[in-house]
């Protein structure tokens, strides 16, 4: 594969090196009367084996070295999407909070740079209930941090993590995810609104079912006239293998085959409909475009 010099330099400048301080990158997009910004919650540190283990080794090595990505350790950014239309101030996902990883849970200082306090958020819309997306919903007293907000989650995602049986049926490595999600969901139960695929959940914001990463993962299409932005969450979870070989099964997806089908569907729509993409774990603040290549796709920041 080929990387342009510009994209390589951009990549090198925005992806934190192992052990470096969290990057607090943010990106902006004017969108009709509304604005879309990403605010950084910091980044995660993950063993590469979690994602790469099932992938064909030789081809994988070639892709990772072209992107300058380590096979042993990943340090993906965590970019929360902030949507403001003058009436609603919407945060997509709540970040990691204090208890997941020391490198993440930074969203409050990122919101402050936007002149926002937690009580200014009118809606928190979840893509899914993994720790880096929902654990940040509680404050240090285990009360809802975004106290004035309506919390919104896809019905099938809610039902899956709400079920006490999930902690006994899910694979061992994910048991803490199940226990942790349910505890946060109990705290927001009073204010939660559930929704289904294709539903317009707020004016101009529609749910797009993208299962696989988790059973009820949702992406969101934000549309103003002919312009559209897709908030993809973790349905497209990285800027390298997920674009270059979207059909490969990734170990971070709970149902890898279903996740690959969702990823293909999104990449096809993003490119054929020329939509802007916002990805939670994509680099440079996460806002960009998917572009077709000879044998797959690539991510380009705007």
What's the min distance (Å) between Cβ of 234 and Zn ion?
Answer: 4
Going by C-alpha positions, the residue among 295, 219, 232 that lies closest to residue 66 is 295
Toward Zn ion, which CB reaches closer, 34 or 236? 236
Toward Zn ion, which CB reaches closer, 76 or 288? 76
Toward Zn ion, which CB reaches closer, 64 or 78? 78
What's the min distance (Å) between Cβ of 132 and Zn ion?
Answer: 4
Toward Zn ion, which CB reaches closer, 77 or 132? 132
What's the min distance (Å) between Cβ of 281 and Zn ion?
Answer: 6
Toward Zn ion, which CB reaches closer, 157 or 234? 234
Q: What is the DSSP letter of 243?
A: H
Tell me the number of residues near Zn ion by CB under 5 A.
2
Query: Would you count residue 234 as binding Zn ion (CB under 5 A)?
Result: yes
Residues 6+ apart with CB under 8 A from 253: 212, 213, 237, 259, 260
| CB 76, CB 238: distance < 8 Å | yes
Residues 6+ apart with CB under 8 A from 96: 41, 42, 44, 78, 104, 105, 131, 132, 135, 136
Instruction: Report the residue from 41, 85, 132, 157 that binds Zn ion according to the rule CB under 5 A.
Output: 132
What's the min distance (Å) between Cβ of 227 and Zn ion?
Answer: 26
Q: Which stretch binds Zn ion (CB under 5 A): 61-69, 105-113, 131-139, 174-182?
A: 131-139
Going by C-alpha positions, the residue among 184, 20, 194 that lies closest to residue 99 is 184
Tell me the two tokens of residue 161. 């993590």
Q: Which stretch binds Zn ion (CB under 5 A): 107-115, 168-176, 187-195, 228-236?
A: 228-236
Query: Would you count residue 253 as binding Zn ion (CB under 5 A)?
Result: no
Positive or negative: CA dihedral 73, 169, 254, 137: negative
What's the distance, Cα to Cα, between the start and end of the chain in Å?
Answer: 21
What's the min distance (Å) between Cβ of 50 and Zn ion?
Answer: 12
Phi and psi, residue 261, nearest 5°: -65, -40
Toward Zn ion, which CB reaches closer, 31 or 263? 263
What's the min distance (Å) between Cβ of 78 and Zn ion?
Answer: 7
How far apart CA 8 and CA 66 sit, in angstroms, is: 9
Q: Which residues lie near Zn ion (CB under 5 A)?
A: 132, 234
């Amino acid at each position: 594969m080929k990387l342009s010099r510009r994209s390589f330099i951009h990549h090198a400048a925005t992806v934190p090196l192992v052990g470096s301080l969290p990057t607090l990158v943010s990106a902006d997009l004017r969108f009709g009367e509304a604005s879309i910004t990403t605010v950084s919650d910091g980044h995660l540190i993950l063993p590469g084996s979690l994602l790469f283990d099932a992938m064909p080794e030789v081809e994988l090595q070639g892709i990772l070295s072209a992107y300058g990505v380590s096979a042993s350790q990943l340090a993906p950014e965590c970019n929360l999407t902030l949507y403001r239309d003058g009436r609603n101030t919407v945060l997509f996902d709540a970040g990691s909070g204090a208890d997941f990883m020391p490198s993440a849970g930074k969203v409050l200082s990122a919101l402050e740079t936007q002149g926002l306090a937690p009580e200014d958020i009118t809606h928190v819309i979840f893509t899914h209930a993994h720790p880096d997306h929902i654990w940040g919903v509680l404050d240090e007293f285990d009360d809802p941090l975004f106290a004035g907000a309506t919390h919104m989650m896809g019905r099938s995602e809610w039902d899956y993590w709400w079920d006490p049986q999930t902690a006994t049926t899910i694979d061992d490595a994910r048991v803490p995810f199940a226990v942790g999600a349910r505890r946060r969901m109990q705290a927001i139960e009073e204010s939660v609104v559930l929704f289904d695929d294709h539903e317009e959940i707020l004016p101009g914001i529609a749910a797009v079912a993208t299962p696989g990463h988790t059973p009820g993962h949702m992406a969101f299409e934000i549309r103003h006239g002919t312009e559209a932005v897709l908030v993809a969450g973790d349905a497209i979870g990285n800027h390298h293998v997920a674009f270059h070989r979207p059909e490969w099964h990734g170990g971070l997806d709970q149902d890898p085959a279903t996740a690959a089908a969702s990823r293909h569907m999104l990449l096809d729509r993003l490119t054929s409909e020329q939509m802007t993409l916002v990805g939670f774990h994509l680099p440079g603040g996460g806002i960009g475009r998917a572009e077709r290549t000879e044998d797959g796709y690539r991510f380009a920041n705007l």
